[in-house]
Structure 1
């Protein structure tokens, strides 16, 4: 009991660590812990994103991937997809709750929303499969 009291007292004083978000009943999926990321755009000859993205481990994110239909284009990033926990993917108002993901592909114009929690810190990427250009790849850092 004494050890628990010491830990509680230490935590109440800040414990030398920055305070986290105040989470509600949904825990990590609370609205106060969710952030929207800039869209990723899939279009022939268009850059995927405006620049690199920096995420925080333990924070929830919503990412929209938008295809303009100019080609049959996919997006891969197996390392990134294994470093996050996906809550849901929404396509045409259909919610998908996958156990894992390796890549996605658009045959036509459309929008896909991925809601996830960043988990494993590191350097990752999402890119159009087989592409070599820098604008066809977005660098993602999870801190």
Structure 2
């Protein structure tokens, strides 16, 4: 009986021990989904009066870590809203002037003056979303986003 319990214990613990001894955990390595092998940079979003937000829609993969910049030129006080999109992602950090913010959630972002903001996030919930300038109706003032 003692041998049976020992054999069962080893069968159960062997995979766990393999992870504990430094063996690779998966395709991304020790940092998992936050590793550089699972990271992609997105084109920047431009906040400028009368200019398009982006050149093309974004198509994202669920589980991938993304980074993008929002560049405001100060030509007008402009914001971005997209609460549905912000609820479909996990925001790792928002960086403004080398200050890192790790929020629980975001509803909108506003630029009163010229500046750059960088956002790092993991796409989570598949679906179709958007970011747009509040109150705008033009297609160029909206960025369509699909998470697959």
Compute the TM-score of the two structures, normalised by the length of structure 1: 0.85
Higher helix share: 2
Cα deviation digits, residues 81-124 of structure 1 (max 9, x gap):
00000000000000000000000000000000000000000000
1:124 is paired with a residue whose SS is strand
Q: Where does the alignment leave 5 or more consecutive residues of structure 1 unmatched?
A: 9-20
What is the distance in 2 between the residues matched to 1:25 and 1:72? Answer: 42
Q: Which runs of 4+ in 1 moved over 3 A?
A: none
> Once superposed, what is the RMSD of the aligned Cα atoms?
1.6
Which of these two proteins has the greater Rg computed from alpha carbons?
A: 2
Compute the TM-score of the two structures, normalised by the length of structure 2: 0.82
Counterparts of residues 10-29 of structure 1 (less than 5 Å): 22-29=27-34
Match of 1:107? 112
Match of 1:85? 90
**Deviation (angstroms), 1:22:** 1.7
Match of 1:140? 145
**Deviation (angstroms), 1:24:** 1.8
Q: Where does the alignment leave 5 or more consecutive residues of structure 2 unmatched?
A: 1-7, 16-25
Aligned residues: 127
